[in-house]
Amino acid sequence: MNHEDVIVAEAARFADVLATADPHAQCPTCPEWNSADLLWHLTTVHRFWAAVLEQDLRTDEQAEAVESGEEQQPSAISAMLPERSAATETLVDQLRRLGDDQPRWTWWEPEQTVGFTRRMQVCEATMHRIDAELTARVDAGPIDDEVATLCLDHCVDVMWGWMPDWATWQAETVAELLAPDTGGRWLVEVGHWFGTGPESGREFDVPRAVRAGAGAAAPTVRVTAPVEQLARWAWRRQGEAEVTGDTAALDALLAQGIQ
């Protein structure tokens, strides 16, 4: 896979769809956003990560400073389109310049590398392209099998797996995700993390999932679909999958959604 080519193609399709969409149309998969918000979101995401890479950011403070300096959303989609194009071009230029192992800040503490950002931005561009198509009520285009597999890996290993270092993790069940068309299989422990925030004093109880290790229990729930649909299902992009077994813990996890 050429990750940068995927980002370019997905972001271009994303922008082309939104260029003619009703700017006030609500995004069904990210209901807090309309078409204009969705377009501006990907624009600012690409601009932010391009800055992280180009400026060699390494700390939370540096990243927060860049984020706090982001300009306000323009009122017209026509004003956003050239900014989106420039932001994507800058991001891709940086990704093509840098190797996966080179250190850079990310929000995912276990992996502070360019490689993390490269994979994350493939997923982000792909899933938001589907958001754009769903918002504009046009047929969603396909996801390449390799890209869908990457998105599933990233969902299982990252998007479902975050928790603060002060929290306690408790697994409740094991889910098996199957993609018969590619032979892909993901075994996932599903449960929740909980605890008291040391700064806020707030009590948390949040669904979470992690890839199951050796010796994991037998799965009690199974999800089966072609890999493209399975990726859309996991990322909550209206994917169609057959789900059997005890779904309670999995339903709680999926209810969080992924923006």
Q: Provide the pLDDT confidence category of residue 217 given band limits of 50, 70 and 90.
A: confident
Domain that holds residue 71: 3-141
| Pair 103, 222 in one domain | no
What's the confidence (pLDDT) of residue 259? Answer: 81
Contacts within 8 Å (CB) and 24+ apart, 214-219:
216/174, 216/187, 216/189, 217/173, 217/174, 218/174, 219/173, 219/174, 219/175, 219/176, 219/187, 219/245
Last residue in a domain, options 80, 115, 141: 141
Tokens in use for 80?
């956003």
Tokens in use for 140?
């969603």
Q: Is residue 29 part of a domain?
A: yes
| Pair 12, 124 in one domain | yes
- pLDDT (mean) for 85-110: 97
180: number of Cβ within 10 Å: 12
d(CA 168, CA 176): 23
Q: Provide the pLDDT confidence category of residue 213 given band limits of 50, 70 and 90.
A: confident
Q: Is residue 229 part of a domain?
A: yes
Last residue in a domain, options 141, 161, 180: 141
In this predicted model, what pLDDT tens digit does every residue of 80-95 receive, in sequence order?
A: 999 999 999 999 999 9
| Whole-number average pLDDT of the chain | 95
| Pair 17, 128 in one domain | yes
In this predicted model, what pLDDT tens digit does every residue of 120-147 receive, in sequence order?
A: 999 999 999 999 999 999 999 999 999 9
Last residue in a domain, options 124, 141, 158: 141
Which residue shows structure tokens 């078409």?
35
| Pair 154, 122 in one domain | no
CB environment 55-91: b (16+ within 10 A), e (fewer) = eebeeeeebeebeeeeeeeeeebeebbebbeebbebb
Query: Number of C-alpha atoms within 13 angstroms, CB side, residue 28?
Result: 11
What's the confidence (pLDDT) of residue 215? Answer: 81
Lowest mean pLDDT among 54-58, 133-137, 143-147, 246-250: 246-250
| Pair 116, 29 in one domain | yes
| Pair 9, 132 in one domain | yes
Cβ distance 204 to 163 under 8 Å?
Answer: no
| Pair 50, 82 in one domain | yes
Phi and psi torsions of 134, nearest 5°: -65, -40
| Pair 136, 28 in one domain | yes
Cβ distance 177 to 223 under 8 Å?
Answer: yes
Name the residue with higher pLDDT: 147 or 75.
147
Q: Is residue 198 part of a domain?
A: yes
Q: Provide the pLDDT confidence category of residue 70 given band limits of 50, 70 and 90.
A: confident
Which helix (H) or strand (E) segment holds residue 169: the answer is strand 168-179
Q: Is residue 189 part of a domain?
A: yes
Instruction: Examine the pLDDT at 237 and tell me if it is beyond 90.
Output: yes
Q: Provide the pLDDT confidence category of residue 166 given band limits of 50, 70 and 90.
A: very high
Q: How many domains does the chain have?
A: 2
Instruction: Examine the pLDDT at 216 and tell me if it is beyond 90.
Output: no
Could you tell me the maximum CA-CA distance found in the chain, to the nearest angstrom?
55
Q: Is residue 122 part of a domain?
A: yes
Distances, alpha carbon 59 to alpha carbons 65, 109, 121, 172, in Å: 10, 11, 20, 34
In this predicted model, what pLDDT tens digit does every residue of 2-39 receive, in sequence order?
A: 999 999 999 999 999 999 999 999 999 999 999 999 99
Provide the pairing of β-strand 203-211 with 242-245: unpaired
Cβ distance 26 to 34 under 8 Å?
Answer: yes
| Pair 8, 123 in one domain | yes
| Pair 76, 100 in one domain | yes
Q: Is residue 259 part of a domain?
A: no
- Residue 218: CATH number of its domain: 3.30.1050
| Pair 59, 168 in one domain | no
d(CA 61, CA 220): 43
Instruction: Dihedral sign for Cα 120, 160, 40, 58, please.
Output: negative
- Residue 93: CATH number of its domain: 1.20.120.450
| Pair 107, 166 in one domain | no
